[in-house]
Chain A
Amino acid sequence: MIFLELFLIFLKLGAFTFGGGAAMMPFLEDEVVSRGWLTAEQFVDFVAISESTPGPFAVNIATYVGSQMGSSEMGGSFFWGVVGAVCATLGLVLPSFVIILLIARFYEKFKSSNLVKGAMTGLKPVSIGLIAAAVVSIGQVVFFPQGFDLSVFISYNFITSLIIFAGMTVLCFRKIHPILIVVFSAILGIGFGYLEKLF
């Protein structure tokens, strides 16, 4: 039953991802791509869509995947798409909601808890390692979409992607807003795409 599956998978994601945003990306990718709910390219595209629409990344992807899976499983119906989106989003939100309600009640105890401090000393570096792994997997999608091979390094796609990536990295470190990064790289992508067609 796809709806129960959506609810449970996103419940798991909501319960075991720390730090939000980029820190959730590796786990989301692992679950969503390995189930075939999105391809690796679609996942990266969706990260871009999520950066250019309001709201938290995790909620956006839960809604999107829920709606896609719900409607495709039920013959493309809009109604079941909405049901799927509700199941996935509810699953994602529920663990946070319950945990924070408990913490809000017993806040002082939580703050001074050695268990929390100890777990966090392990979780913080782990989330960095996981994001570094996400960089590798997104890098594969960007630079080697057809798989790895030495001739890739002189291909048009590789060189233009490298130019866009380098330029955008400079802009990112100048604290340019993420939406502008998405807009600029889209314009460059369109420019390079038509340039290739011309020659």
Chain B
Amino acid sequence: MKLSKDNLKRCLGLFLVFFKIGAFTFGGGVAMIPFMEREVVEKKKWIDKDVLLDIVVVSESTPGPIAINAATFIGYKTAGFFGSMFATLGVVLPSFIIILGLSFCLEYVWTVPVVQFALRGIRAGVLALVVKALWSLFKKTPKNTFAYIMIILSFLAVVIFDIKVLIIIISGALLGLAVFFITKKAGEKK
């Protein structure tokens, strides 16, 4: 792992592009993908479109925020380990700076009456946004009995039984594995 002059130039390029992506995409996650396509695939031609699609799949099946996953992956494919470091740093830095600045004045701002009224409205708006997110995710998942049972069980586990989310996630993955291999075996026997 050496940082040659050419490689350093690419790393700085990655940093700048991802800084821009981090600074101008709102809502995060999937909203960043079209932006990445324009910057990284079309303009800079660092990776192919197929690789970008792969990245979306990988990001969704690995933990962590999609933006971080995509930055690390594209950075690595473009300029190796240092590339992934620069790209990730670039995508995180704008949020970090903006929120850090906000965090020192929010406490005072939050107590102003106008802001309190606005926040009361905004909370209802956020609820609408989350309902929308729930609906679009639901549309994308395969519909079968197992999926429905898992949805209901995990919902009840949080709302009624107050079980830790970490435990629900781990048991979800394990149950998924069990069902996947059982149906696969049953399929092979036929």
Contacts and interface: CB of A to CB of B under 8 A. Distances in A.
Contacts of A171: 128
Interface in A24-51: 24-27, 30-31, 41, 44-45, 47-51
B104 A48 contact: no
B129 A123 contact: no
A38 B136 CA distance: 28
A2 interface: no
Interface string B106-120: 100010011011111
Contacts of A119: 61, 173-174, 176-177
Contacts, number: 386
Contacts of A134: 130
A60 B120 contact: no
Contacts of B141: 124-125, 128
B95 to A, nearest CB: 3
A27 B157 CA distance: 13
Nearest to A15: B63
Nearest to A175: B132
Given A63-B96, A126-B150, A96 B117 contact: no
Interface in A109-130: 110-111, 114-130
Contact of B137 (A53, A120, A128, A164): A128
Given A114-B181, A129-B150, A142-B127, A85 B100 contact: yes
Interface in B171-187: 172-181, 184
A4 interface: no
**In this complex, which of A20, A173, A189 has the most chain B Cβ atoms within 10 angstroms of its Cβ?**
A20
Interface string A124-161: 11111111111111110110000000000000010011
Nearest 3 Cβ contacts at the A-B interface: A189-B121, A122-B176, A55-B95
